[in-house]
Structure 1
Amino acid sequence: MNQYMKSAVYGVAAGDALGCPVQFESRTEVSRHPVTDMRGYGTFNLPEGSWTDDTSLTLAALASIKEKNGIDADDIMRRFCDWMYDGAYTPYGFSYDIGNGTRNAINAYHNGADVYHCGSTAEYNNGNGSLMRIIPVCVWCALNVPDEKEAVKLIDLVSGLTHNTERAKTACGLYGFMVNALIHEGGSLKEKLQKGMDRGVAYYKAADTAELRTYHRLFDLDAFAKTQADRIESSGYVVDAFEAAVWSLITTNSFEEALLKAVNLGDDTDTVAAIAGGLGGLYYGLDAIQQNWLESLKNKELFENLLD
């Protein structure tokens, strides 16, 4: 597996595991005992290095891409079923921390819905459950699909498996443009992310995508970097999570600092850090991820098998 995919996926897993013990804690609660390193137990009462649905679904998508050498939506969805029903792609052989939109979509697919209709288009389904797992698709597209329209179409399809709203799909598409820029463009982290955002904004404006406006704070990252923490939300809402992840990256100077900042925002800690970790892994590289964080990841053999 190429180095970009390794860096991105391990970045997601590191962020997920770092945030897992304090997931759902408020910013005030987290501030009483800030996260400074991997720790265990907490929210799910699991050992240090445990990871959740963010990483499980990322690995399921990765496994499909590796086996099929491309994007096969039905195969990805079958693997999501294997995860939810049979505990595949998990640290301990059972699934946990399953979002409602994801659960409903997998149940719908299991009961006969096709890949274009299993994910809900309802307003309530604007969570971050597809953004958190989309990076393997984004990396694969960045390396294999030079046509922007085709890449966005594939990213939309895989987002829509569980989160089929235009808002969620637009977040995944913009994230994909950022991934592409991190791989192909030069410059600092913020400069690369801005190049990706500029291309994404131009693409969605040309497509007359109404939901683009919900991401307006990310249009100018220099300005957004000046935003105070009390104006950054870190909830499970896709706009909040995307903003919080990007803000954590562009207001710090290392992978470690970015992920700790993301986690200590509180609330949906594991997912915000996972979203940031995927981008941060691509920019800083695998060697920049703390060795003890990587060594602590449970079921490490699964990562090694999928990323060899």
Structure 2
Amino acid sequence: MLNDVMSARLRGAVYGQAVGDALGVPFEFKSRDSFQCTDMIGNGTHYKPAGTWSDDTAMMLGTLDSLADTNGVVNADDMRGKFLAWARNGEYTPDGDVFDIGNTTSIALGSGKGQTGERDNGNGSLMRIIPLAFVDCSDDDIRAASAVTHAHEISASACVRFIHAARLLIAESDGWLSGTPAGDGKIVRARRIAAIDKACGIAGLENIRTAPRNQIRSGGFVLDTLRAAFWCLVTTDCYADCVRAAVNLGSDSDTTAAVAGALAGIVYGFDANPWAGEIRGANLLDQWIGKAVSSLPDWQPESAE
């Protein structure tokens, strides 16, 4: 069973991703600066009610559910089964409605083989990989989880870098979410910034803080999504601003905000998420979080490795 600290971080990450995803759904495929996301709305690109998450969060929940069923062990066949339950039956969705499934993911699930072409490096494995930051699995395990759908080295390596960075944020966040003595706010903020910058280094993004917005791509390429998510994290100071910045980059707005939101959920916590109460299917999120908390082995990252 996960300890209280890891449980809180997991809840922050799951809700952080789901909310970022849902904020971005109405604006997916829209050009940058042709819109402005300020709050949770409905309709838009996919004509969904406000607060509806997409394939990004559904597959992330499938990953989490698989880890819960296998006591934290990465089992590619079990994960594939969970993803098929989503794609065919609407599992892990608020209302059984499957939409926005990517081509590489669709082909991989239909054929039973992860895709290995250079053009198969979309962000479809990165968007669902965050639960692996909460279990003691190896880099090869992370690669295997990516390879269920995205088996090219670029995608697998991006997932490894992302999980290492997320684990650092978990490991160094002690005290961020539990409250601090009066007057220590500046110290906490400095620690948080230092940890985020270190995480960027682990992800291979040492200079991301100084990158101008017009150099941040927000399409479907996995490395663009990784870079954009961290850019949103390092250039903002709260959960809400991070995910709004991600959505407002345009193009693959839901996935960028989902990935950024998972990280921001770890950094700022569930209580800092102003839209947690507006997400559809919150009871389902709580159900899968609860199952994972009670089933995953107690573990916590110890270092910035």
TM-score by length of 1: 0.84
Any residues of structure 2 matched to 1:241-256 within 5 Å, and which?
Answer: 241-256=225-240
C-alpha distance in 1 between matches for 2:160 and 2:21: 21
2:67 paired with 1:80:
no
Q: Match for 2:124 among 129, 134, 140? A: 129
One-letter code aligned to 1:267: S
C-alpha displacement of 1:119: 0.8
Please give the root-mean-square deviation of Cα atoms over the aligned residues, in Å.
1.5
Q: Match for 1:195 among 193, 198, 204? A: 198
Which runs of 5 or more residues in structure 1 are unaligned? 110-117, 146-150, 201-214
2:287 paired with 1:305:
yes
C-alpha distance in 2 between matches for 1:100 and 1:72: 23
C-alpha distance in 2 between matches for 1:306 and 1:103: 24
Which structure's relative contact order is higher, taking Cα pairs within 8 Å and 6+ residues apart? 2
2:140 paired with 1:138:
no
Match of 1:28, SS?
A: coil
| 1:32-51, Cα deviation, whole Å (9 max, x unpaired) | xx110101100010110011
Structure 2 match to 1:42: 44
Match of 1:174, SS?
A: helix
Structure 1 match to 2:216: 232
Structure 2 match to 1:205: none
Q: Is the 8 A contact 2:133 2:166 kept in 1?
A: yes
Q: Match for 1:265 among 246, 249, 252? A: 249
C-alpha displacement of 1:91: 1.7
Match of 1:119, SS?
A: coil
| 1:105-156, Cα deviation, whole Å (9 max, x unpaired) | 11012xxxxxxxx11110110100100000001222xxx34xxxxx211111
C-alpha distance in 2 between matches for 1:197 and 1:259: 17
One-letter code aligned to 2:247: V
Structure 2 match to 1:12: 17
Which protein has the bigger helix share?
Answer: 1
The number of equivalent residue pairs is 268
Structure 2 match to 1:63: 65
One-letter code aligned to 1:119: G
| 1:43-94, Cα deviation, whole Å (9 max, x unpaired) | 0101100110000000111111112212221111101000001111112212
Any residues of structure 2 matched to 1:142-161 within 5 Å, and which?
Answer: 144-145=136-137, 151-161=138-148
TM-score by length of 2: 0.84
Q: Is the 8 A contact 1:171 1:242 kept in 2?
A: yes
C-alpha distance in 1 between matches for 2:231 and 2:244: 12
Q: Is the 8 A contact 2:270 2:276 kept in 1?
A: no
Any residues of structure 2 matched to 1:85-124 within 5 Å, and which?
Answer: 85-109=88-112, 118-124=113-119
Q: Is the 8 A contact 2:208 2:230 kept in 1?
A: no
Match of 2:34, SS?
A: helix
Identity %: 39
